[in-house]
Amino acid sequence: MSIRDTFFQECEDLLAALVDGLAELESSGQDSEIVNAVFRAVHSIKGGAGAFGLDDVVSFAHAFETVLDRVREGDLAVDGKLLRVFHKSSDQLTDLVEAARDETAIETTARDSVLKDLETYLGDQVEEEEFSFDALTLDVPPALEIPAEDSASRGVYEILFRPHAALFSNGHEPSLVFECLSQMGDLTVELQDISIPDFELLDDSGLQLAWRLELTTFDSETVLHDAFEFVEGLCDLEIRPLTRPTDPLPTIASEVPTPQPTPSSDKPQTKSEKEPKAPKATLRVDLDRVDRLINTVGELIINQAMIAQRIEELDLPGTSQVLNELEDYKLLARDIQEGVMAIRAQPVKPLFQRMSRIVREAGEATGKPAKLLTTGEGTEVDKTVIERLADPLTHMIRNAVDHGLEKTDTRIAAGKPEEGTIRLTAAHRSGNVILEVSDDGGGLNREKILQTALDKGLVAPDVELTEPEIDNLLFLPGFSTAKEVSNLSGRGVGMDVVRNAVAALGGRISITSDPGQGTTFTIVLPLTLAVMDGFVISVADQTMVVPISSIIETIHPIRRNIHTIGQNGRLLALRNRYVPIVDVAENLGLKSLNRLDDQIFLLVSSVSHGTCALAVDAIHDQRQVVVKSLKTSCGSITGISAATILGNGKIALILDTEEIARTGASASELAHEKLTQMEPALVDAN
Amino acid sequence: MSTQTEPAPIDSIEFVTFSAGNQIFCLEITQIREIRRWTPVTALPHTPPDILGVMNLRGAVIPIFDLSARFGLGATPSNERNVVIVAASASDTVGMLVESVSEILSIESDQIQETPDLKSDAARNYITGVIAHNETMIRVVDLGAVVGGDNA
């Protein structure tokens, strides 16, 4: 990996820290620690970008940093307006870094508009007095204010710099530091008048060298110190403001004045911001290596299952030590597997952070002010899941702002706050990851949805639909409620694409809506894509696996609890409810071996079709299985989500209960038709 | 994906010949990973008859096609000489059930003729060319078409 790559990876972290800091600033108000953290992030990006000659990033980061510095110095108070500018600036900085990374052109108009916003905060009181004063409250005592005004805020510093030998041996280069300084203003460098020994005696460590620098700059002393950040402790350094009056301000287009702390009040500052919370040590690992490890661990689990089976076949006495060891082996294998999966697991936080930008942008584009509230950002999800969720989530968030929230006047009329709230939550629940996107808008307009579906011929006109069924029409391909195609959500992507993306991750999506209160989309995802817990069952002589997460309970039926409707429709009476029975063998086109009442029922819940009972021949075992996708090699197969390899080396198919419930309860089965004809109320109850 | 469509000038290519549906076919040897004895596979529901199921190949789940059925020549009759040819295309590894494997042929690339223009024939979609060899016609199988031509 090149140093450049490393820099951009670090940038990602820094940008994340930046967004984090801004969010914290927003929630907990002005805290010098947080401001420092934000400043540090921007400053580090600037520093790194400078090293790679990324001028666009450097100049923007510099302006950003300068405003942040004013906040840090207490010259500026953070208010809502400034925060918005900060958010925009951080978005812009992200764009610039990305453009630099991908070597694409930058959007100068967007950048310039943000720069202009930033400039209003730069405290150029001479020129933009009226402009800046109504926007900010200055906490600066008047005594400090006046010199800043009339001396036009350029400071001159004298820097004495004498590197130690260690500075050179660590690979630092004074000229780079000087270059960095020279970017801040006018720099004069002179080698100190130190006697340089004869050539023969010359020590190549450069120990004898010392410099005196004079810098005229808008930047504060702290910023000067930062230039020496990397050589700190490796040199004698003295920075002091010169007391002579500063030059009158020449206007330099790109440079932006920062009010200078009056020279007289300044002692050389110690770097108070130098004690960040120690970050956790992390290791960057090539993803391929992790995946290879995960594959191998998958094999280990299969191998463990095989050994267990072989030992079982030996029929050893129950007291045998081997059985204990085997149990330990199983636990260890599981530990390793969990540990390895944890490497791939990442908090959803970066994903959520991206979404706050989406909300901001969508809010601006639609003229509906909106904020994003997130909870459960620490929830860890497989990296692949996070990556593949980004697009669907973006789409859902845009939708929530564009279609979910009402227009501002409607909101006010409904007694709601002007600013809409989009809520994004993540949580672990019983082996699944639950993501929710909700808005506090007007809820789904069911009449309109139904009408649109009818207009587009997506539903037959004579069909009576329940409210949840109408809501689910949103997921149909080719459905879009937006009357006019807005450039925001109308990008040819419908909710069906979202649903497919979620389904491809082994998850499900559902929708609930309260008129006047808002709409909630719930995504249920498996924790990991590679391994899952399942029941090993048999269906028509074939061994199969049912994901445990989908099973509510298992039932040994009693004959009198099975009721027939029509010719093939069968219902299971369960605590005063009737649940449709789906014969899995029949559903999969296999020959059922058993009479229905000899079978075992697995009660599963499906998102689209409520609860139903799957009839299978037997349940053998509960175990962890390694999921092997069939999609790439066999295409998608109705009713089967994937396959796994059992202890005996045989392949077992993993049932897609959602799909079986769907096909079993409607399309392919006569049963359902009969059911709906005879007892529509019963079906609805499910 | 296969080199025989763009042959290097007079190169000799090695082919493995086999019979499926009483016709002789061949596959370029570089595409073949291994040849295995037939063992029962795990059937997949709702699949056409030319997909027999899936098999465990050292921890990988690979689909097994009945080549004869796929070519529209009827299901391969069960026979103890039946073998599964495991072949890898660009992205996928698949197994193909054939009646029997015959021999390895070394063929100059200019000996491969274009498939003569026939009226619709299911097999033709899966063939890139034919080779005349010892008065028999050997059909060169387009592995990509076999792998990608399923219902996916």
Hey, what domains does chain B have and what are their CATH numbers?
12-148 (2.40.50.180)
Pick from B41, B56, B61: CB nearest A630? B61
Q: What average pLDDT score do residues A357-369 get?
A: 85
* Nearest CA-CA distance, residue A319 and chain B, Å: 33
Q: What is the tens place of the pLDDT at every residue in A195-204?
A: 666 666 666 5
The secondary element (H helix, E strand) that includes residue A365 is helix A349-366
* Nearest CA-CA distance, residue A62 and chain B, Å: 48
Provide the angle, in degrees to the nearest 10, between the axes of the packed helices A383-399 and A495-504. Answer: 160
pLDDT score of A336: 86
pLDDT score of A202: 64
State the pTM of this model.
0.51
Residue B42 pLDDT greater than 70, yes or no: yes
Q: What is the tens place of the pLDDT at every residue in A245-258?
A: 444 444 444 444 44
Residue B33 pLDDT greater than 80, yes or no: yes
Inter-chain contact B59–A302, Cβ cutoff 8 Å? yes
pLDDT score of A424: 92
pLDDT score of B49: 82
The better pLDDT of the pair A477, A681 is held by A477
Q: How many residues belong to chain B?
A: 152
Q: What average pLDDT score do residues B32-38 get?
A: 89
- Do the beta carbons of residue A128 and residue A181 sit within 8 Å? no
In angstroms, how far is the first alpha carbon of chain B from the final one?
Answer: 19
Inter-chain contact A633–B43, Cβ cutoff 8 Å? no
pLDDT score of A264: 44
* Nearest CA-CA distance, residue A637 and chain B, Å: 7
- Note whether ipTM > 0.90 here: no
Q: Where residue A675 falls among pLDDT bands split at 50, 70, 90?
A: very low
Cβ-based interface (< 8 Å): residues of B facing A: 41-47, 51, 54-56, 59-63, 91-94, 150-152
pLDDT score of A246: 44
CATH superfamily of A531-685: CheA-289, Domain 4 (2.40.50.180)
Cβ-based interface (< 8 Å): residues of A facing B: 298-299, 302, 542, 588-590, 628, 630, 632-640, 643, 645, 649-653
pLDDT score of B98: 92
Q: What average pLDDT score do residues A541-549 get?
A: 85
The better pLDDT of the pair A237, B1 is held by A237
Whether domain A348-526 has CATH 3.30.565.10: the reply is: yes
- Among A289-298, A420-429, B127-136, the range scoring the smallest mean pLDDT is A289-298
Q: Which residues of B touch A591 (CB under 8 A)?
A: none
pLDDT score of A26: 78
C-alpha separations of A57 from A44, A98, A137, A345 in Å? 11, 10, 29, 31
Quickly name the fold that domain A3-138 has.
Four Helix Bundle (Hemerythrin (Met), subunit A) (1.20.120)
pLDDT score of A204: 59
Measuring CA to CA, which residue among A606, A500, A646, A255 is closest to residue B42? Answer: A646
Residue B39 pLDDT greater than 70, yes or no: yes
Residue B150 pLDDT greater than 50, yes or no: no
Give the alpha-carbon dihedral of A422, A493, A660, A654, to 10 degrees. Answer: -90
Q: Where residue B32 falls among pLDDT bands split at 50, 70, 90?
A: very high
Residue A419 pLDDT greater than 90, yes or no: no
Residue extents of the structural domains in chain A = 3-138, 150-263, 288-346, 348-526, 531-685
Q: Where residue A609 falls among pLDDT bands split at 50, 70, 90?
A: low
Structure tokens at A168: 């050179």
Inter-chain contact A628–B61, Cβ cutoff 8 Å? yes
CATH class of A150-263: alpha beta
The Cα A322–Cα B119 span in angstroms is 66
Inter-chain contact A645–B55, Cβ cutoff 8 Å? no
